[in-house]
C-alpha cells in the first residue's frame, strides 16, 4: 500500500528503533538520500540513531503528518499502551527527557 507523507528536511516522521520495545518516536528529517533523522537536536540522544538501526513507519507517518488523522493516531497508540514519544526542541522540549505525544482534548460542543 502506498502512503502519502513527506521526508523533506525539517519534516517530522514516526520511526521505530531496533531493540526498543513498544515505543515509537517522532523524529525530524535532517538529510535525504540516504534518509537521515534525529530524535533530539542536541543532548544525550542527539547521536543515538547513528549507532542503531531504525525503520520509518510509513502508515503512522502519513497519519501523523495529516492534521485530520493526527488525533486518532495518538489516541489509538495511547489506548494500546504503545506510546509515541518525542524529545525535539522544535516541539518545545528542553533537556533530555522524552514525553508522550498525547492527543489534545476533544473540543466540547457549546450547544
Residue 105 lies in a domain: no
- Whether residue 50 is contained in a domain is answered as yes
Domain that holds residue 29: 12-100
- How far is Cα 94 from Cα 72, in angstroms, rounded to an integer? 26
Going from the C-alpha of 6 to that of each of 32, 73, 87, 88, the distances in angstroms are 11, 17, 20, 18
On whether residue 30 sits in a domain, the answer given is yes
Residue 2 lies in a domain: no
For residue 106, the model assigns a pLDDT of: 55
Give a yes or no: residue 106 inside a domain: no
> 58-82: per-residue pLDDT in tens?
999 999 999 999 989 999 998 898 8
What's the whole-number average pLDDT of the chain?
89
Q: How many domains does the chain have?
A: 1
Is 4 part of a structural domain of the chain?
no
For residues 35 and 56, is the Cβ–Cβ distance under 8 A?
A: yes
Q: What is the DSSP letter of 70?
A: H
Amino acid at each position: 500500500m502506498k502512503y502519502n507523507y513527506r521526508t523533506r528536511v525539517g519534516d517530522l516522521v514516526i520511526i521505530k528503533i531496533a531493540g526498543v520495545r513498544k515505543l515509537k518516536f517522532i523524529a525530524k528529517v535532517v538529510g535525504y538520500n540516504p534518509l537521515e533523522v534525529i530524535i533530539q537536536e542536541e543532548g544525550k540522544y542527539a547521536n543515538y540513531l547513528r549507532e542503531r538501526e531504525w525503520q520509518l513507519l510509513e502508515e503512522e507517518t502519513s497519519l501523523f503528518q495529516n492534521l485530520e488523522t493526527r488525533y486518532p493516531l495518538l489516541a489509538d497508540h495511547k489506548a494500546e499502551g504503545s506510546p509515541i514519544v518525542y524529545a525535539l526542541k522544535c516541539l518545545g522540549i528542553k533537556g533530555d527527557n522524552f514525553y508522550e505525544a498525547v492527543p489534545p482534548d476533544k473540543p466540547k460542543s457549546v450547544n
